[in-house]
A and B are shown apart, each in its own frame.
Chain A
């Protein structure tokens, strides 16, 4: 799917029909990939990298353009079961145009950061910035989900919530790897600033990107460490909750078992003293109650 936008007079206009200079290809088909490779001389391997979620972020210089592969969070859906994945995206910067290749549809050029765009180079940096902001947003969600799962675990006897926490831990590993990969790209962008044509303002913005990305990485690392270090404790809580349930069930079983035994003894079809006593029924009932009382006393005495 192709979306065309136009960058003119420091502003970007979306969904233009003609004279576009920013082309957004979302999950391009075979024909579109062929078109991109033939018409814009995009390297096929780099193009495939932009759509491969496992690809690392990198910068490549081609004769007519600069190719950037960067990492961004994958759109979360309810089927993901608390696994927050990452995906890749490609930016192909030409002298007079920018081609963006995405594996899934995301809202582009939205937010205050895109209010003023001075050049294609500026647009590239702002797209990378929005990706970092997206990572930070997902980290906040991971933290909120983690807190909510902890509340559930405190009273749970199932592994479900524990497995969800494992999913979050796995997601943070993906995030750390992706954010670190983006850091390498941003550093390379700074080193190649003159070659790419970044202005002094752009270079200052790259410094900001490095700081933002580094803070994002530290935040992910902290969440990951907290989750990893508390996982054993949480597993113990679930196990302990289950033990408490078993203990309660055992109390109920024993409390029922002894009076049942008393009653069943007196129900045997044999002669025993006092069988014809007029109050024998209530005597048996009293003995059954006393047995429950004895169990309770032993329970308290042993401090079970």
Chain B
């Protein structure tokens, strides 16, 4: 099966960083798509569909995260995630 892989660096811009509610927003977004998404901060890589792993990342404001989506709808999930980060996770 044809699988695409898309990688993009996204900066955490909201003042409180990647805390509890943004993590849930990311998980909910990723689970809407079929692609597998991983997020890397420095040397630590986590599965973006697992809230336990995401919450352990502790990404503060200004942190640059390397997001990699692999799957048929990789491009779509990447667009959705980019919009989510830009929209401050819909929290304000």
B55 A107 Cβ-Cβ under 8 A: no
Set of chain B residues within 8 Å of A141, measured between Cβ atoms: 20-21, 23-24, 51
A105 B19 Cβ-Cβ under 8 A: no
The residue of chain A having its C-beta at the shortest distance from the C-beta of B60 within the complex is A77
A144 B24 Cβ-Cβ under 8 A: yes
Contact pattern, B 25-59, Cβ under 8 Å of A = 1, otherwise 0:
00100000000000000000000001110011110
Docked CA distance A78–B20 (Å): 9
The residue of chain B having its C-beta at the shortest distance from the C-beta of A84 within the complex is B20
On whether A137 and B55 interact (CB within 8 A), knowing A75-B16, A84-B20, A144-B27, the answer reads no
Q: What's the interface size class on A, roughly? A: 20 to 34
Interface 9-mer from A50-58, A86-94, A145-153 = A145-153
A76 B91 Cβ-Cβ under 8 A: no
State whether the Cβ of B75 lies closer than 8 Å to any Cβ in chain A.
no
On whether A107 and B20 interact (CB within 8 A), knowing A145-B52, A152-B52, the answer reads no
State whether the Cβ of B82 lies closer than 8 Å to any Cβ in chain A.
no
The residue of chain A having its C-beta at the shortest distance from the C-beta of B59 within the complex is A78
Contact of B51 among A106, A138, A148 (CB under 8 A): A148
On whether A111 and B91 interact (CB within 8 A), knowing A106-B16, A137-B21, A140-B24, the answer reads yes
A138 B15 Cβ-Cβ under 8 A: no
Set of chain A residues within 8 Å of B92, measured between Cβ atoms: 107, 110-111
B91 A78 Cβ-Cβ under 8 A: no
A107 B51 Cβ-Cβ under 8 A: no
Contact of A107 among B15, B23, B27, B52 (CB under 8 A): B15
Give the number of residues in B that approach A within 8 Å (Cβ atoms). Answer: 19
Docked CA distance A43–B47 (Å): 49
B91 A138 Cβ-Cβ under 8 A: no
Nearest-neighbour CB distance to chain A for B51, whole angstroms, equals 5
A107 B56 Cβ-Cβ under 8 A: no
B51 A145 Cβ-Cβ under 8 A: yes
Contact pattern, A 143-169, Cβ under 8 Å of B = 1, otherwise 0:
011001100100000000000000000
B16 A78 Cβ-Cβ under 8 A: no
Docked CA distance A111–B21 (Å): 15
Set of chain A residues within 8 Å of B55, measured between Cβ atoms: 76, 78, 82, 145
State whether the Cβ of B14 lies closer than 8 Å to any Cβ in chain A.
yes
Nearest-neighbour CB distance to chain B for A17, whole angstroms, equals 20
Contact pattern, B 45-79, Cβ under 8 Å of A = 1, otherwise 0:
00000111001111000000000000000000000
Set of chain B residues within 8 Å of A111, measured between Cβ atoms: 91-92
A78 B58 Cβ-Cβ under 8 A: yes
Docked CA distance A77–B91 (Å): 17
- Which residues of B are in contact with A by a Cβ distance under 8 Å? 14-16, 19-21, 23-24, 27, 50-52, 55-58, 88, 91-92
Selected A-B contacts with CB under 8 Å, 25 pairs: A75-B19, A77-B19, A78-B55, A78-B57, A84-B20, A105-B16, A106-B16, A107-B15, A107-B91, A107-B92, A110-B92, A111-B91, A137-B21, A138-B21, A140-B21, A140-B24, A141-B20, A141-B21, A141-B23, A141-B24, A141-B51, A144-B24, A144-B51, A148-B50, A149-B52
The 8 A-B residue pairs with the shortest CB-CB distance, nearest first, are: A110-B92, A78-B58, A76-B20, A141-B20, A111-B92, A137-B21, A76-B19, A141-B24
